[in-house]
Amino acid sequence: MKKLYPDAAAALDGLLHDDMLIASGGFGLCGIPERLLVAIRESGVKNLTFASNNAGIDNEGIGMLLRTQQVKKMISSYVGENKEFERQFLSGELEVEFCPQGTLAERMRAGGAGIPGFYTKTGVGTQVAEGKEHKDFNGETYILEQGIFADLAIVKAWKADETGNVVFRKTARNFNVPAATCGKVCVVEVEEIVPTGSLDPDAIHLPGVYVQRMIVGAPYDKKIEFVTTREREAN
């Protein structure tokens, strides 16, 4: 199976449609599938639901799709650095399903494992638990959370071999692994493709069985979410 495509638009050809659910990896600006998100924006698809830890920042990451009004719903756990997200949410333009961070990761992992739901104590007694089934185990109350089964998963990786075995770099592992597994189709943008067999099997984070399509997205410009500096000390 040929998995490598020439660019993001080609890799997404035939996969995109209105009203779809997309699982997107990354955290803030770390490990986000930049090229694939640009291609989704340029495709013009709309009424999208994104399951992602956050929506990036204004005009970066999923934030660029908020600007173009292509996102109708976010399933997220952290949304504090995106003013357009805040504006759309407060004005009622954007539906938001807040989900505790660990619960969101587990919902994606569960979907990837074919598990429709699981019980967790996280969120009990808060707004997160409203409308959800409650059940007691050993005297403790838990709520039922549903696995996420996405139409498409898009993730960013460091290296991959020609068969789709993937290695993420350090913090970029974050949500990329669970997001990748819960999509019906997984498209990976990667910095470097290496020959099959050159990756240490123990270092592979995402087996190629989960990956249907890949692109090489490099080179990348390093984007910084918060620029923090200090005054230089006088000699």
**CATH number of 8-216, picked from 3.40.1080.10, 3.40.109.10, 2.60.120.280, 3.10.129.10:** 3.40.1080.10
Q: Look at residue 235 in the predicted model and tell me its pLDDT.
A: 62
Is a pLDDT exceeding 70 seen at residue 226?
A: no
Is a pLDDT exceeding 80 seen at residue 227?
A: no
Q: Look at residue 52 in the predicted model and tell me its pLDDT.
A: 96
Is a pLDDT exceeding 80 seen at residue 72?
A: yes
- Report the C-alpha gap between 212 and 25 in whole angstroms: 16
Averaged pLDDT for residues 85-102: 94
Rounded to a whole number of angstroms, the distance between the first and last alpha carbons of the chain is: 62
Measuring CA to CA, how many Å separate 118 from each of 76, 131, 134, 142? 18, 15, 11, 9
Q: Full-prediction pTM beyond 0.75?
A: yes
Each domain of the chain, given as residue ranges in start order, spans 8-216
Averaged pLDDT for residues 46-58: 93
Classify residue 67 by burial, with Cβ atoms within 10 Å: 0-12, 13-18, 19+.
Answer: middle
Averaged pLDDT for residues 22-27: 94
Yes or no: say if 60 and 223 are a contact pair by the CB < 8 Å rule. Answer: yes
Any idea which residue has 């000390």 for tokens? 233
Q: In this predicted model, what pLDDT tens digit does every residue of 102-149 receive, in sequence order?
A: 999 999 999 999 999 999 999 999 999 999 999 999 999 999 999 999
